[in-house]
Amino acid sequence: MIWIQQEVRLEPRPRGFHLVTREVEQAVPELSRVRVGLAHIFIKHTSASLTLNENASPDVRRDFESWFDDAVPEDFAAWTHTLEGPDDMPAHVKASLLGPSLTLPVRDGSFAVGTWQGIYLCEHRDSGGPRKLVVTAFGEQSG
């Protein structure tokens, strides 16, 4: 049995849904030592989230952003948490809807997801800054 835990720093991105699958895998080279197991990916922020979805068409990511901006508007009159800017409270709601983590299967050193699936960093702030993930993987060691 092997256990791996690594913090991964993602560079700042604009508001939107960004594919980060390869970036996360490359930032945790020890993942290559896992023959079969699980990886838990946790984002250490309250205004960004993670989800798994379509990795081929950028239209899907744009449509996600459009839907979330319409469903959770910045100008909602009932917001009381407004000191950090108009995008902050909506970002917290969006992050809670999508969640802070993913648990993915690992096979032969990489995430065993579907052909058309990818990990999204869901950046809900206009300028969220760098984001930190904690990747914890465990399983049967290769070789």
Cβ atoms of 38 and 103 within 8 Å: the answer is yes
CATH number at residue 9: 2.60.120.460
Question: Which pair of tokens denotes residue 91?
Answer: 């970002």
| Residue 27, pLDDT score | 97
- The whole-number pLDDT of residue 49 equals 98
Specify the length of the chain in residues.
143
- In the sheet with 131-141, reading across from the earlier edge strand, the strands are 2-10, 131-141, 34-43, 101-107, 110-111
Q: What is the spatial distance between Cα 69 and Cα 94, in angstroms, rounded to a whole number? A: 9
| 139 bridge partner residues | 2, 37
- Number of domains observed in the structure of the chain: 1
pLDDT at 142 over 90: no
Q: In the chain, where do the E strands start and end?
A: 2-10, 14-19, 34-43, 48-54, 101-107, 110-111, 117-127, 131-141
Structure token digits, residue 38: 């699980």
Domain that holds residue 8: 2-141
- 36, β-bridge pairs: 107, 140
pLDDT one-digit tens code per residue, 56-85 = 999 999 999 999 999 999 999 999 999 899
User: Does residue 143 surpass a pLDDT of 90?
Assistant: no
pLDDT tens string 41-55: 999 999 999 999 999
